[in-house]
Chain A
């Protein structure tokens, strides 16, 4: 019932057709160092960037910063055990005690430090949110200037779920005091892989 009524009311009330504007053209930016602006933006929003040369550098970092009894999980097959892999059939609730999740991202956006991740990279959708700490690995040559380029890159890809993640979870709901670590990850580390 509702549907027919709503559509009829819209048809009765809508204004004359206005065409869509041409695609937006961002102003030509001065040639910027994408790595520098992306890293600066990650820091500004409470994250951290580490440039690494090899996958082993990531392993070494994790071993140095996380105890062996902490649950570290990854969907990246290049990373060697003892990291736990993600079983796509696992009950998402079983991920509640993950200390660190290391996930691959498609690309990063320099203007806002957002990194694009999709279902296939997450393994389990809740993973980048439920883990205490999150690390995302992107290739250094996969940095884009702005969100228009980002959606150009995504194009018509047909992912079931995709998310831009920019920094750690945060809130300023109490007197506008910024607190890092609201409901999602308490920290975000971006590994820029050369």
Chain B
């Protein structure tokens, strides 16, 4: 595999150029985080719910094979055609084969981060298949030829004026319109036409129940249902970790999911698909794509508990100020930074470092994934595997050399103060990354050690 063209730091530089936009992005996501807090605080049993969800997922991970087989058997009994895909390529091929069997070249798709992960749209485009994303935010970024920047809020990085321009170019709205109501109405009419004319619809899956063979899809817009119920062929794609043992467990997860994601008590639609409607074909693809490998990484397997709510992104001080695209992977933010290196250590070696390790992500996670610990552990793994910039490794070694010995530490402090006092230009320049966007502090007259020696024993 290969290194990314630009790493998280370089891509963040692109986003942070526009300071006003960064502030707006930061505040908007923090506002969603505040809504999440408000929703969580309405439920006295919130913390117990998180624990319960985490324990259920723990059980799922320890019996994943059994549950998958139970789910497959039930789903087949229900008349669903079940496929297994070990990786992205296999998944994409299965979708394409279904389209080819039906001789169809057009498909409507609702939100599925899995298909983003598998780059399905690009694959199908090369084969001459037109895919239209039907979630409003996803349609916007699709028209803008960008990937989603957030798993729940795909175009959170875009201003309404930019969306107005995109709609004017592609959907024929008059130039200069940026009213969200008008833009949404335009998309509603445009996509209604799509829903009514497409014969294949692909949806994601939020939860799949082993006991019953049904799968649940949650949306606010109703786009998954419009696509699926008007289609002749419904394809649902899910990561194998989306399995839950019993129907009753949906009670736990549906209470947590949307409150964590947007602060709503539940999505508008929580659709339970068990059997295709008369005359319809229903396919379900179980996708591994690295998940079974992550299951074997003891330190990181808990990341498979993720229910894709996005709470860790909304609260992350790095994500909020660097934007989703800086993560150069389908799932951005703290959880994405744990998932991505599992797929390709070299390409995503930068991501576990895109964190302050403040732990806010772990505190809001509805299934209690210890996200910040895992980010910290990935750093060790990546350095040992030689995937980290040698300059960073050298700097860390120098730091460790200095901090591990009192004499060296005292000397380094003295040197630092001297430089800042007599040769500030040596640090106040663009070679010093700490100087970027901030002034260096005035050097203190003496070190704390010296001050303490002078004042500490006065009693």
Contact = CB atoms under 8 A, between A and B. Distances in A.
A50 interface: no
Contacts of A60: none
Interface string B405-435: 0000000000000000000000000000000
Given A6-B240, A17-B62, A166-B267, A176 B86 contact: no
Nearest to A15: B62
Contacts of B223: 182-183
Interface residues of B, number: 91
Interface string B169-210: 000000000001101110110011001100000000000000
B196 A93 contact: yes
Nearest to A93: B196
B269 interface: yes
Interface centre among A147, A148, A151 (most CB of B within 10 A): A147
Interface stretch (B98-106, B289-297, B332-340): B289-297
Given A7-B65, A96-B192, A171-B184, A163 B248 contact: no
Contact of B265 (A96, A111, A148): A111
Given A41-B265, A161-B275, A183-B192, A15 B136 contact: no
Contacts of B270: 114, 163-164, 166
A130 interface: yes
B56 interface: yes
A30 B45 CA distance: 13
Contacts of A165: 268-269
B255 interface: yes
Given A148-B248, A176-B31, A14 B295 contact: yes
Given A5-B86, A129-B226, A169-B268, A174 B136 contact: yes
Contact of A173 (B153, B159, B222, B276): B153
B265 A182 contact: no
A184 B268 contact: yes
B32 interface: yes
Nearest to A9: B292
Contacts of B59: 18-21
Contact of A182 (B220, B277, B293): B220
Contacts of A10: 64-65, 68, 240, 292, 295
Nearest to B191: A183
A139 interface: no
Contacts of A96: 192, 196
Contact of A167 (B159, B248, B268): B268
B298 interface: yes
B225 A126 contact: yes
Contacts of A24: 48-49, 52, 251-252
A147 B225 contact: no
A164 B265 CA distance: 12
B140 A112 contact: no
B274 A160 contact: yes
B271 A161 contact: yes
Interface string B48-90: 1100100110110111110011000000001000011110001
Contacts of B221: 169-171, 182-184
B134 A6 contact: no
A125 B181 CA distance: 27
Nearest to A20: B59
A64 interface: no
Contacts of A174: 136, 140, 155, 160, 163, 180, 183-184
B222 A13 contact: no
Nearest to B134: A183
B62 A169 contact: no
Interface string B248-282: 10111011000000101111111111111100000
A98 to B, nearest CB: 12
A75 B84 CA distance: 39
Nearest to B288: A6
A106 B254 CA distance: 18
A48 to B, nearest CB: 15
Contacts of B31: 176
Interface in B437-455: none
A13 B266 contact: no
A112 B266 contact: yes
A193 interface: no
Given A6-B240, A21-B56, A179 B181 contact: yes
A181 B220 CA distance: 10
B136 A173 contact: yes
Contacts of B32: 176
Interface string A15-37: 11111110110110100000000
A78 interface: no
Interface of B: 28, 31-32, 43-45, 48-49, 52, 55-56, 58-59, 61-65, 68-69, 78, 83-86, 90, 134-137, 140, 153-156, 158-160, 163, 180-181, 183-185, 187-188, 191-192, 195-196, 212, 220-223, 225-226, 229-230, 240, 245, 247-248, 250-252, 254-255, 262, 264-277, 286, 288, 292-293, 295-296, 298, 301
The 6 closest A-B pairs by CB, nearest first: A184-B222, A13-B296, A112-B265, A173-B137, A182-B221, A9-B292
9 contacts: A2-B288, A9-B293, A112-B266, A126-B229, A129-B225, A151-B248, A173-B137, A173-B184, A184-B221
